[in-house]
Every structure is written in structure tokens, then in C-alpha cells.
Amino acid sequence: MEQNNQTSLPDHIDHRPDWDTYFLRITQLIAQRSTCLRRQVGAVIVKDKRILATGYNGAPNGVPHCFQKPGGCLREARGIPSGERQELCRGLHAEQNAILQAAAFGVSLKESVLYCTHQPCVTCAKMLINAGVKRIVFLGSYPDGLSLELLKEGNIVLERKEID
């Protein structure tokens, strides 16, 4: 019996997202777990189209989140602009939490891809370079030119994408 290759595919198969879109949409879901009062960020680290680790921004395990502290976000209370004085933040960045999750479970990130809702900051950029990430795909910008410079010098492919 001969199969007809001309049959039309179901609509959901015709509209399957490409891999970058798929993983970027997952970062948006992960970001919904964020406890940051300023910016909700999600990250997923992938190798060979398989998820290795995820992370979102928020306080370290067992430490109160900003919304649980009197006065809330210290950076907000002091009027500190985004991208500056990160040492005054209680939270870890999504990328940092993803790297730490991989480390906690003994997962190597060499030759991996980071998908993130935002461009990494300079601290995260340095960590991602040393972790062996080779490509970063992100949705939104972040005010950190030094990060972009270091990622370029570290031979990391950096791609900003837009998705529906």
C-alpha cells in the first residue's frame, strides 16, 4: 500500500515552535516563580535540546524575600537604577540560580546554551563564560555594556530574539 505524502498535517503540527522559541517560552514560565519586586527573570540551560537546569531570580534558599522584609526592596527604597550596585540586592539572578542548580546535582554546563528572559549582567556573564556556556539567547535587554563586551571576548554567541 502506497502512502500519500501530500496529506495535510494537523494545524498544531504546522505551527510547532522552533527550538529557540520553545526554550524561550519556557523561560517566561520559569520567570513567573520569581520573587523579585522589580524584574521577573527566568533562565534555562540546555544541551542537545535537553534541559540541564533552570533558575529564576530571588533570595537564597531559606532567606526571606524582599517582599517579606519591612521596607521591601532595598534597591527600590534607595532609588538605585537597574544594573547598578548589585551587591545591595538580596536576590540571586536567574542565571546564577541555574548554574548553582547544575552544580548541586553535578551537571556539567560545558558547550551548553543559556536561554533567558533578559540579557545577562556582567556578574552572570563571567559565571557563564567560566561554566562553559557557548551560546546565549535572550528576549529583553539589560543596561550592562560591560557584559556584552565580556561575552564577545569570551567567544559566546549572543542572540536577542523576539517571540509571540
Q: What is the DSSP letter of 58?
A: B
The answer to whether the CB of 66 falls within 8 A of the CB of 91 is yes
User: What distance, in Å, lies between the first and last C-alpha atoms of the chain?
Assistant: 41
d(CA 39, CA 89): 12
d(CA 135, CA 147): 14
Q: Which residues are catalytic?
A: 95
> For 87-109, what is the HEC assignment?
HHCCCECHHHHHHHHHHHCCCCC
